[in-house]
Chains A and B, each alone.
Chain A
Amino acid sequence: MNFKHKYFFLFPGLFVLIGILIFPIIFVVRLSLSGWNSYNPGLDFIGIENYIRLFTDDPRFWESFFRLSFLSVTTVILQYVIGFALAHMVWKDIKFKRFFRVLFLVPMMTTPVIMTVIWRTFFHESLGPVNDILSNFGLSPKWLTDPALAKFTVIIVEVWQWTPFMFLLLLAGLLSLPKEPFLAAAIDGASPVRKFIYVTFPLMAPISIGAIIIRLIEASKIMDTVYVLTSGGPGTSTETSSFYIFIKGLREFQMGYAASMSFTYLIIMIISLTIIAKVLTKLLLKE
């Protein structure tokens, strides 16, 4: 085949890649070097002014980033533990296995914004059913108005919504495991706990790493839950990076500055997720 023909066949894919991936990133970088806002529309060039502002004069961005790190790591750990437990449960031959498999996937299939509105109603401190029930025991937690508890409420909603995704990946992993190691462990008389620690968990490690990384990427974009549940409040106690970027970009219309935050955030996420993946690989796949 002529060498040039190869490029001819590659061109459509390359064109799509440039159009939907490369161009937006280049545009964001260009936008971040402009002062585009509501009163000064257009791609003027202001150099790295936005980046200087971000690194020297915007502690709120970094606070929201550390808050996001806490929320995403906590939710993903909880999702992994619960998701693994549920997947392990329906992996075994239990009654109504199929029913449970479908049931556990329901939260993921609902629309996040709608579900968050429902959760907000549940947690409404004067009209919601949760406090109505808890008040019988003399409790009335401030689910959405106490800075610490509001973070916990966001975690509950995120875990409820996205554990099924983790469950799905891990169940697929469990179903694909070879049977021989389990037969060998059974012949050796390994207890269920030892079987889990020495056979199931190590075999699941590569899938676990993949699932955790995928979920961390998704969780690091927490936005709709925060938007609907707390609007980042009380104060700024549940404000995450993506919500903060949304406020600066689409509420205050500081497009240039929001682009610089987005690009910085992208770089940080690429670096930190790469490190996390390396560390997890080293920890879980050491043998």
Chain B
Amino acid sequence: MKIIKTCLTAVISSMMIFSPMAYADKWSDQFPHIKATGDIPGDCSYEEMSKKNYKGKTLKINTHAIPVMGEPTALHAEQFEKLTGAKVEVTHTPAGDLYSKAMVPFQAGQAPYDIVFGFSNFINDWKRYLAPVPKKYMNSTEMKDVTKSHMGVSSWDGTMYQYPVDGDRHYLKYRKDVIDNPEMQKKYKAETGKDLKVPTTWKEYAEMAKFFNGWDWDGDGELEYGSAEVMKKDDLMFAAFFSRSVAYAKNPRTPGGFFFDLETMKPNINNPGFVEALTDWVEATKYVPPGGTNFGLGDEIGSFGGGQTLFSFSWDDAFIAAMQDDSPIKNKVGAAPLPGANKVWNRVSNSWENQYNQAPYIVWGWAVGVAKKSKVKDMAFDYLCFFSNGANHQADLAIGRFGVNPFKNSDFDPNIYINSMGWDPEIANSYTQTLLDMEKSKNRVFPLRVPGVFEFTSAVATGTSKALAGQLSPQEALDEVAKEWEAIVSRVGKKAVRDAYAVGVKMEDNQL
């Protein structure tokens, strides 16, 4: 009897210990995308989704063009179809048209798409047409892992309208093999009298970028350059400009608005802090690769990820691309916070404060919502929950072109990157620490999320691109932007803009 009991205990114990592995194998055999982890238990895991039956139902999704976000949308749609029997129709749309493609039918009272992908800063314009995320999903295991800041970015006044599938922030990426190279450090010291290290200010960034501009410093027979940045005049360059501005213009001692003075709603965009940042940016046109002032995000990813430049800053994608197995610079790059500045503008006293300042920019990123008028809301939320379940999310994180970046607390464990992606432990640690520090910072800037946000950001893109092209001086360009912002505020209504902006200011001032 004792033997039987012992054997039974052993069998049950081994079943309990090894069951996750068997569980994982079952699904990863069918879906090779998750081969690194297998299925990860959760409310929206493969196992749970396979219990749903959506046969005869059709889900329509409008997402971005392939690959960024478009590829994972299509891939998870295919998986969702196999698991639930649903039919999923995916439409791919260029980034610049995502807003209008959803907005036109929204305003006409139609819902040609059940799920619409866009950017998190669309939330104010879109929220009245989107269904709030139901409680069931808010309490799911997947959602409980989302960081506080990304819960905030996806929500408006405590109600979540956008389902978190991506987390975005801008940070510095640099060539670790160059910055940490003793020979390069010696050469840099000899020629400039300064230490070669990870830049902590934009001035240092510029000095190093200029020094490493236009010569073959990695010995591959090709010329390398200082920095790759998103400078092309379109709907993304404004974010790069804000990344350069936060150090000079986000003063932790002057709460009450980074973009506007919340009290008066007077734009801050042409104050000396922003002008200093734009002056730096105009200077940067001298150390980008040929054609660099026409680089969009794809060019920036390709340039830094392909080993063409020493520095880059923007979304995670360039870093992940550089760390992929097929990259020529895998394990040769580092991540660090955005550079800061040795002075910061105080908009209350109208003077510079000569002290070090650094501010993370939690930039807008991919966001997705379910149309209020959709007839298959349950299926739509199930799809989104499945999209970002543990196994899919970890697999997506490893593929740079997917554009899926960390937004869950569990994403900041360096072991994920070391074990499943083959990253050097030091790099994995610096990457996760950089992201974690941004989450903890008390001097963050969040994206502008006010009615008519596109009018504001488009004005910034136009003004700054005129300065980069030499059509206007930085001050003239930003004065033009400020004038345009004032006109937009007046058209939209001061109260409407202020009420919306106040929500973002609360987040920046750490009151939410």
Contacts and interface: CB of A to CB of B under 8 A. Distances in A.
Interface of A: 35, 37-39, 41-42, 57, 60, 124-128, 131, 140, 142-145, 147, 230-237, 247, 250-254
Interface in B441-464: 451-452, 454-455, 458, 462
B496 A39 contact: yes
Given A38-B454, A235-B466, A250-B100, 16 more contacts: A35-B491, A39-B451, A39-B452, A39-B496, A60-B462, A124-B291, A126-B291, A140-B290, A147-B470, A232-B233, A233-B293, A233-B465, A233-B469, A234-B468, A251-B99, A253-B100
A145 B452 contact: no
A37 B99 CA distance: 12
B107 interface: yes
Closest 3 CB pairs of A and B: A125-B291, A235-B469, A234-B469
B454 A144 contact: no
B195 interface: no
A251 B470 CA distance: 25
Which of A35, A128, A254 has the largest number of chain B CB atoms within 10 A? Answer: A254
**Secondary structure of the A side of the interface?**
loop
A142 B469 CA distance: 12
A246 B457 CA distance: 15
B103 A231 contact: no
A38 B103 contact: yes
B96 interface: yes
B232 interface: yes
B294 A144 contact: yes
Contacts of A234: 233, 293-294, 465, 468-469
Given A38-B103, A247-B458, A250-B100, A233 B292 contact: no
28 contacts: A38-B125, A39-B451, A41-B107, A60-B462, A124-B291, A126-B225, A126-B291, A126-B292, A126-B303, A140-B290, A142-B291, A145-B291, A145-B293, A147-B470, A147-B471, A231-B232, A231-B234, A234-B233, A234-B469, A236-B462, A236-B465, A236-B466, A237-B469, A237-B471, A247-B458, A252-B452, A252-B458, A253-B454
Nearest to A120: B294
Nearest to B223: A126
Contact of B452 (A38, A144, A230, A236): A38
A150 to B, nearest CB: 8
Contact of A251 (B107, B225, B454, B465): B454
B492 interface: yes
Contacts of B290: 125-126, 131, 140, 142
Contacts of A235: 233, 465-466, 468-472
A250 B101 CA distance: 9
Nearest to B233: A233
Among B99, B303, B465, B487, chain A packs the most CB atoms within 10 A around the CB of B465
B72 interface: no
Contact of B454 (A124, A128, A237, A252): A252
A286 to B, nearest CB: 43
Interface in B81-127: 96-97, 99-100, 103, 107, 125
Nearest to A49: B491
B312 to A, nearest CB: 14
Interface string B217-239: 00000000100000011110000
B465 A253 contact: no
B289 interface: yes
A145 B294 contact: yes
A145 B97 CA distance: 24
Looking at chain B's contact residues, is the secondary structure mostly helix, strand, loop, or mixed? helix
Q: Choose among B97, B289, B290, B496 the residue with the greatest number of A CB atoms under 10 Å from its CB.
A: B290
A144 B292 CA distance: 10
A233 B294 contact: yes
Q: Which of A37, A147, A232 has the most CB of B within 10 A?
A: A37
Contact of A37 (B96, B225, B452, B487): B452
B308 interface: yes
Contacts of A251: 96, 99-100, 235, 454, 458
A37 B462 CA distance: 20
A147 B469 contact: yes
Contact of B455 (A142, A232, A254): A254
A250 B233 contact: no
Interface string B482-501: 00000100011000100000
Q: Which interface residue of B99, B225, B232, B233 has the most chain A CB atoms within 10 A?
A: B233
B287 to A, nearest CB: 13
Given A38-B125, A126-B291, A251-B458, A236 B471 contact: yes
Contacts of B491: 35, 37
Contacts of B289: 125-126
Contacts of A230: 233, 294
Contacts of A233: 232-233, 293-294, 465, 469
Contacts of A254: 455
Nearest to B464: A235
Contacts of A247: 458
B294 A250 contact: no
A42 B455 CA distance: 18
B228 to A, nearest CB: 10
A178 B465 CA distance: 55
Interface in B274-330: 289-294, 302-303, 308
A237 B97 CA distance: 23
B99 A253 contact: yes
Contacts of A232: 233
B492 A39 contact: yes
Contacts of B470: 147, 235
Contacts of A39: 125, 451-452, 492, 496
B107 to A, nearest CB: 4
A232 B237 CA distance: 13
A128 B308 CA distance: 14
Interface string B235-261: 100000000000000000000000000
A122 to B, nearest CB: 12
Nearest to B294: A144
A230 B454 CA distance: 20
B463 to A, nearest CB: 9
Interface centre among B97, B294, B308, B472 (most CB of A within 10 A): B294
